[in-house]
Structure 1
Amino acid sequence: MHASRNVMIIKSQQQTTQSPLNTSETQRPANSEHMDFLEYDERPGRRIPWKWLFVAFVLVVAVGLAGPLNRLRSHFGKPPQDLVLFTVERDDLPIVVTERGNLESQINIEILCEVDEIRTSGHSGTAIVWLIPNGTSVKAGDLLIELDSAPHQERLDQQILETDRTRANQIQAQAKHENQITQNETSLADAELDVRLAELEVEMFTDEESGTRRLEVDAIERLIDDVNNEIRSAQANLMLRENEKRGIETLFKLGYAGKGELDRISYDFLRAENEFATRVNRLKTQMATLSKLQNYDLNMQSLKLHGRLETTRRRLEQVQRNNEALTAQSQAALDAANQALAKEEERLERYKDQLEKCRIYAPQDGMVAYAVSASRWNREEIREGATVRQRQHLLSLPNLNQMQVKTAVHESVVDQIEPGLSATVRLDAFADRVYRASVRSVAVLPDPGGFLSSDTKVYETVVTIDEEVQQLKPGMTAVVEIHVDRLEDVISIPVQAIVQVQNQTWCYVEQQGLPVRRPLRLGRSNDKFVHIVEGLEEGERVVLNPMAIFDETRQRDERIDADMDDLPVADDVAPAADVPALPAAE
């Protein structure tokens, strides 16, 4: 409102200053109304029209504002003082990303504490007995650190005894397992033999030609045949004795034979009769035995033999299962003993290795650099007598002949950086040296930063120096220039000439001694120049310090405001139509 008001006042004043020219009759409009507006009536007694009073008032105001307006007019149309100009030319534009970083070794071996923490007397950690001075140049195999090995030696001695006891148990388990295998083989052989004998007995019993069953039946049948023969012999003897008895009885009756002869022949007859009865009874017995053998004994014996065969077979299966169980049991005991021995031997080897790791040697040539804790609140000092924990970083051993720079690339240009791009490295300590380098890696995720870091996203980038270096130390400040691309024969201007406000981009171009605002369309840029795609021509001159224009404009506005405060406010004065335009450097 204040600016528009000032412009409005300036326009009104300009119009009023020109009004005397418009009142001359040579420039009077032909319109009758304007003729009446400018006509002066000299007749006496007539009242002066109000329009003439308004014209007189305007003339008085114009005379009063002439001085301040001349001062205001002098503020416009003057170029700012001390402007620096740059002549636009066509040239090649190297697209280079420049970042600062710190020097470090490409081959940086971190020496860690690999010794276990043994708690003794309420204290944990391992004490440093001897430590090589910081910054010492060492060769591969040189002693770097010696840690307290007394607790580890004591633990190793105890482990040796425990390993020997475990080895004795393993030997005993091995012997038991071998004995069990032998016992199992013996038991299995006995069981198999019993099965085989039972099978042979069954085969021998059931053989129709020469088996036990056939032999027993044949033996009884042969006895029966013998008994039948004896019966026939006894029967014949009985008949003979009976005939002799009848003959002697007849002779005894006739008196030709005595009493003794009759008694003798009677006795012989009775004995022959008894012998015949005995043979008959014996035949019956043998027939009953044969019947019993055929109907019962043979079946019972067959059942017994088959039952024994099945029993021996089942016993064989039982022996096999028992052997498997006993073998598995003894094998499990042996495996447990072997595992226990392996564990103890592994622990023994680890304790030996722990004892050896109490003395740390240099794995390569380099310079000793003590580890520095990243936390400012919990710093772990590396010194003789200090206790260190397992996996703690003790020192680093960088190779000073092969170095690299770790830097951070801004998120606006990280998409242009890729591994393999060529680069150059300059060091603040050796400003006259330039090293050939190349991009090794670009982080995928941004650096998280710390608690006090800004919201600007940067990506860690590693640039390796592609040549052997001398006299360089880790931590030196380096400037890296990454060569992204090279634009040939283009128009470019320094980046300080560009002005960007929100979505508008422009620069100031000198025209007739005054800076004029020129909108631009930008292309790619480096840290010094930016490619102008549209908006400038070769040979034009641009302002390199546009902030001077802003400062001059601000001072001019302040002077205008001060002069405006001296002007009377005329809200009723209509603005003029023709006002000179302000310069472009607003």
Structure 2
Amino acid sequence: MNATQSPSFWQLAWKPVIGLAILGSVVALATAGWSLLQDMGDTKAAYVYYTVEPMDLPIVVTERGNLESQLETKVRCDVESSSYDRNSSGTTIIFIVPNGSAVKEGDLLVELDSAAIRDRLDSEQLAFDKAVSQRIQAQATYDNQITENQTNQAQAELRVELAKLEREMYMDSENGTFKLSLEDIERQIDESKNLILESQAALELEKAEKSGIEALFKLGYRGKSDLEQSRFRFMQSEDKLASSVNRLSTYQSTRKQLEEYEFRMQKMQLDGDVATAEQSLVQTKTTNMAQLAKAEAAKNEAEKTEKSQRERLEKLREQLTLCKIYAPHDGMVVYARENSRYGSSTDIAEGASVRQRQELITLPDLSQMQVKTQIHEAVLDQITAGLPVTVKIEAYSNRTYDGVVASVAVVPTSSYYTSVKTYDCMIRIQERVENLKPGMTAVVDIHVDRLEGVLSIPVQAVAQVKKDTWCYVHSDEGVERRLIKLGRSNDKFVQVIEGLSAGDRVILNTDAIFDEAEEGANEISPESGVEEAPVVALPETDTQLAAEPQAVSLSSEPQKVDRPRGKGKQRPTE
């Protein structure tokens, strides 16, 4: 923030009460010392001067706050006691460390009654063992079902392949069963035809022989027996021919039956066998799926039961572990207090019953501390995270700590008692500390900036009425009121942008001007008889004091001092 955009000087430096008191005391002592050096009969006032010179002006915002731990762990009861004993209102504390005790990491803080949990743990262990056994059996059944399904499916697939192979063997156009049967009948038909031809030839021979014998018999050259034998052979030849013809007819009928009926019937039978085998395969697969799903469901149920029992068992074991609460880090034990809606409070002590998630102990880490303070809205825009801070603890005023602005709230703190808006600010102490306790009062100096080589004057030399700001400057002609333009400030000094030059002497005790006006002096000049006091320049210790401002609180509105608009001749209007 540049000088032209700075808040009003009285908004930034209206409360340096302690710093002004100290500096006022210095001025008063200087004035009193000079008065003692004057003639005892001289009652005229003397002015205290400050010579304006370029200086380094540290911009520091000073606030007060309270210590608290950076790491504050809340220890709670995590035991679900109500789930084990419906008649119990909570879990009983059988041991707790004394309030305010310093503990180390790993120390036992609280022990809760675990008898009900141990009883339940035994029964849950038995239930878990049973669930494990059932899961093993279900897994074995499932594995056996997989093997059985594979066997059944393999057999069904084999039946399908055999049926297809048998049909193929029958239907093969070259070497199939039907082809071979048909060829066999064709061969028999051919043989029958040949036999008929032989029978016909034999019959013709027998017929010719019979005719010759009959002729010879009539002539008397052959006997009757020869004639009978010839006739018998002829009849045999006729029978053989008839038999051959009948056999041929039978074979031809058989061929026709084979081609027109048996082939179709056998083909239908074989196709049916294939279809039946395929349908049986589908049925086997469906049955396998159903049986496997049943076995898998039983296995999954057994696994879920085992998992549920295991989780319950592990939860009980965890609950048993949670009955003993150990310190997560070093710190100081602070018992928690819980106020009910009826105004009563629940005390944490041995024998008391506590419920789940109830806070038992707050364990702040006293080696890592921070300061919680309030920042006035007038300087809020100057405070950002990361600014260096000097921290002083009122209980240990001879020691300072290095800190840093950790965070600044974006929402003001609500208050019903004042319209002043302040914002929470956390100052983190960057070193490990000892002997500090939460709640101690701390003063923080937030080092906002450092202006080098600027003209600055003490804040008590400045007067402001409404928009006019001035100071009183000693000149050769007397005391002159000079309008000035201010820049940034701390609790002791304020930067002067316009109106003053190096070497100017400003009056610090401006009240003396008003005292003189009360005596009727109309003009402040060397002729007025007022003896000029020596120039008082702040010593090196004062400059150092300015660099280390005292605690300033921005908890009330700034009070503006009404000054006259004349040349130091009138008193402020009441």
In structure 1, runs of 5+ residues without a counterpart are 1-80, 554-579
Q: String of CA shifts for 1:239-283, please: whole Å, max 9, x gaps.
A: 454445545655665677777776666555445433422321221
Structure 2 match to 1:407: 373
**1:107 lines up with 2:71 in the alignment:** yes
Q: String of CA shifts for 1:278-302, please: whole Å, max 9, x gaps.
A: 3212211211222332344334434
How far is 1:144 from its partner? 0.9
How far is 1:361 from its partner? 1.6
How far is 1:483 from its partner? 1.0
Helix, strand or coil at the partner of 1:390: coil
Does the CA-based 8 Å contact 1:509-1:543 persist in structure 2? no
How far is 1:333 from its partner? 4.1
Does the CA-based 8 Å contact 2:371-2:427 persist in structure 1? yes
Q: String of CA shifts for 1:422-454, please: whole Å, max 9, x gaps.
A: 211111211221112222x2145325547x565
Among 432, 444, 448, the residue aligned to 1:480:
444
CA distance in 1, matches of 2:185, 2:356: 97
Helix, strand or coil at the partner of 1:383: coil
Structure 2 match to 1:287: 252
CA distance in 2, matches of 1:286, 1:127: 108
**1:541 lines up with 2:507 in the alignment:** yes
Q: String of CA shifts for 1:300-328, please: whole Å, max 9, x gaps.
A: 43444345435544544554455455445
Structure 2 match to 1:446: 411
Q: How many residues align?
A: 476
Structure 1 match to 2:158: 193
Does the CA-based 8 Å contact 1:84-1:545 persist in structure 2? no
Instruction: Mark the CA change 1:362 to 1:418 in structure 2 (over 3 Å): closer, same or farther.
Output: same
Instruction: Mark the CA change 1:95 to 1:324 in structure 2 (over 3 Å): closer, same or farther.
Output: farther
How far is 1:493 from its partner? 4.5
- Residue identity in the other structure for 2:469: W
- Residue identity in the other structure for 2:441: T
CA distance in 1, matches of 2:179, 2:193: 21
Range 309-318 or range 422-431, more displaced: 309-318
CA distance in 1, matches of 2:93, 2:205: 134
Does the CA-based 8 Å contact 1:518-1:535 persist in structure 2? yes
How far is 1:147 from its partner? 0.9
Range 219-228 or range 87-96, more displaced: 87-96
CA distance in 2, matches of 1:584, 1:514: 18
- Residue identity in the other structure for 1:349: E
Structure 2 match to 1:396: 362
Instruction: Mark the CA change 1:429 to 1:581 in structure 2 (over 3 Å): closer, same or farther.
Output: closer
Does the CA-based 8 Å contact 2:64-2:444 persist in structure 1? yes
Instruction: Mark the CA change 1:167 to 1:585 in structure 2 (over 3 Å): closer, same or farther.
Output: same
- Residue identity in the other structure for 1:191: A
Q: String of CA shifts for 1:107-146, please: whole Å, max 9, x gaps.
A: 3333222222415344433221211101212233221101
Query: Which aligned pairs between 1:300-449 and structure 2 lie closer than 5 A?
Result: 300-317=265-282, 319-320=284-285, 322-324=287-289, 326-373=291-338, 377=343, 379-439=345-405, 441-446=406-411, 449=414
Helix, strand or coil at the partner of 1:98: strand
Range 363-372 or range 341-350, more displaced: 363-372
Structure 2 match to 1:168: 133
Structure 1 match to 2:195: 230
Q: String of CA shifts for 1:463-520, please: whole Å, max 9, x gaps.
A: 2223332222222121111111111233445556666676x25356377999987655
Q: String of CA shifts for 1:4-61, please: whole Å, max 9, x gaps.
A: xxxxxxxxxxxxxxxxxxxxxxxxxxxxxxxxxxxxxxxxxxxxxxxxxxxxxxxxxx
Does the CA-based 8 Å contact 1:516-1:585 persist in structure 2? no
Does the CA-based 8 Å contact 2:383-2:408 persist in structure 1? no
**1 or 2 for the larger relative contact order (CA 8 Å, sep ≥6)?**
2
- Residue identity in the other structure for 1:391: R
CA distance in 2, matches of 1:178, 1:360: 46
Instruction: Mark the CA change 1:349 to 1:489 in structure 2 (over 3 Å): closer, same or farther.
Output: same
CA distance in 2, matches of 1:519, 1:386: 72
- Residue identity in the other structure for 1:396: T
- TM-score scaled by length of structure 1: 0.70
- Residue identity in the other structure for 1:533: I
Instruction: Mark the CA change 1:95 to 1:198 in structure 2 (over 3 Å): closer, same or farther.
Output: same
Instruction: Mark the CA change 1:529 to 1:500 in structure 2 (over 3 Å): closer, same or farther.
Output: same
- Residue identity in the other structure for 2:257: K
- Residue identity in the other structure for 2:79: V
Structure 2 match to 1:490: 454
CA distance in 1, matches of 2:121, 2:184: 85
Instruction: Mark the CA change 1:482 to 1:154 in structure 2 (over 3 Å): closer, same or farther.
Output: same
Among 472, 494, 515, the residue aligned to 1:509:
472
Helix, strand or coil at the partner of 1:433: strand
Range 249-258 or range 147-156, more displaced: 249-258
Q: Which has the larger radius of gyration?
A: 1
Range 177-186 or range 228-237, more displaced: 228-237
Helix, strand or coil at the partner of 1:509: strand
Query: Which aligned pairs between 1:181-220 and structure 2 lie closer than 5 A?
Result: 181-220=146-185
Instruction: Mark the CA change 1:185 to 1:519 in structure 2 (over 3 Å): closer, same or farther.
Output: farther
How far is 1:355 from its partner? 0.6
CA distance in 2, matches of 1:363, 1:117: 23
Does the CA-based 8 Å contact 2:213-2:227 persist in structure 1? yes
Instruction: Mark the CA change 1:243 to 1:533 in structure 2 (over 3 Å): closer, same or farther.
Output: same
Structure 2 match to 1:89: 52
The alignment-based identity, stated in percent, is 45
Q: String of CA shifts for 1:313-351, please: whole Å, max 9, x gaps.
A: 454455445545544554354334323322321221121
CA distance in 1, matches of 2:379, 2:344: 36
Structure 2 match to 1:464: 428
CA distance in 2, matches of 1:533, 1:372: 56
**1:143 lines up with 2:115 in the alignment:** no
How far is 1:191 from its partner? 2.4
CA distance in 2, matches of 1:178, 1:151: 41
Does the CA-based 8 Å contact 1:147-1:359 persist in structure 2? yes
Instruction: Mark the CA change 1:501 to 1:186 in structure 2 (over 3 Å): closer, same or farther.
Output: farther
How far is 1:413 from its partner? 2.5
Does the CA-based 8 Å contact 2:481-2:568 persist in structure 1? no
How far is 1:356 from its partner? 0.9
Helix, strand or coil at the partner of 1:469: coil
Structure 2 match to 1:560: none
Instruction: Mark the CA change 1:107 to 1:319 in structure 2 (over 3 Å): closer, same or farther.
Output: same
- Residue identity in the other structure for 2:96: L
- Residue identity in the other structure for 1:228: K
Instruction: Mark the CA change 1:422 to 1:449 in structure 2 (over 3 Å): closer, same or farther.
Output: same
Query: Which aligned pairs between 1:239-250 and structure 2 lie closer than 5 A?
Result: 239-243=204-208, 245-246=210-211, 249-250=214-215
Does the CA-based 8 Å contact 1:507-1:543 persist in structure 2? no
- Residue identity in the other structure for 2:158: L
Does the CA-based 8 Å contact 1:245-1:262 persist in structure 2? yes
